[in-house]
Homo-oligomer: A and B are copies of this chain.
């Protein structure tokens, strides 16, 4: 017997296709019910129930009871980052399951990645921040510059609150659909919240899609457009 953390146990939990599909679905950040997750995974409710209780026992999911529904969500951002890390390694190793149907253009345009913006819009956001000198990359990881601190404060965000947590402020997240980087971390989450709050965009129900209003798109261009 070896000592140390039992990585085999939780890797095995993620290693089942049905469970991996559920976890991937929960990367959308929204809490989902057992029935919804069974559909995502393509198994019956009974099977899903068994999987979900294992994931919960393993500490990967948390349950929130509400009426007769049980809402499941990822236990914390560490789990989300673990899944991202897995996706990154799987990507580079060439293990992509290519979907046979037509790729959904709306999803590629703007979708949510756990709690921050991904897809084409997410990449444009990231590159704009870089180009305008609000962000710079130090050895692979993004960091907010002094000018960047002024900028996000100007948007009305409370930097001290964002930095108070254990979670990194800025984090690079690999976008598998575009194979480019977008912004995660507490700042990435706060920026998406800002867009919701300002009425620029909203979540499409039952989907990871993010739809921008016409005026929201224009406001996005002003703040995060080219050059």
Contact = CB atoms under 8 A, between A and B. Distances in A.
A154 B21 CA distance: 50
Most buried by B among A4, A12, A91: A4
Interface in A112-158: 138-141, 143
Interface stretch (A45-53, A162-170, A192-200, A210-218): A162-170
A1 B139 contact: no
Number of copies: 2
Interface string A91-108: 111111111100100000
Interface stretch (A30-38, A65-73, A78-86, A219-227): A78-86
A189 interface: no
B168 A5 contact: no
B14 A7 contact: yes
B15 A11 contact: yes
Most buried by B among A89, A93, A169, A176: A89
Contact of A97 (B4, B40, B91, B143): B4
A88 to B, nearest CB: 6
Interface residues of A, number: 66
B2 A8 contact: no
Nearest to A10: B90
A136 to B, nearest CB: 11
A3 B139 contact: no
Interface string A7-25: 1111111111101110110
Contacts of A1: 97, 99-100
Interface of A: 1-17, 19-21, 23-24, 40, 58-60, 75, 78-79, 81-83, 85-100, 103, 138-141, 143, 162-169, 176-177, 185-186
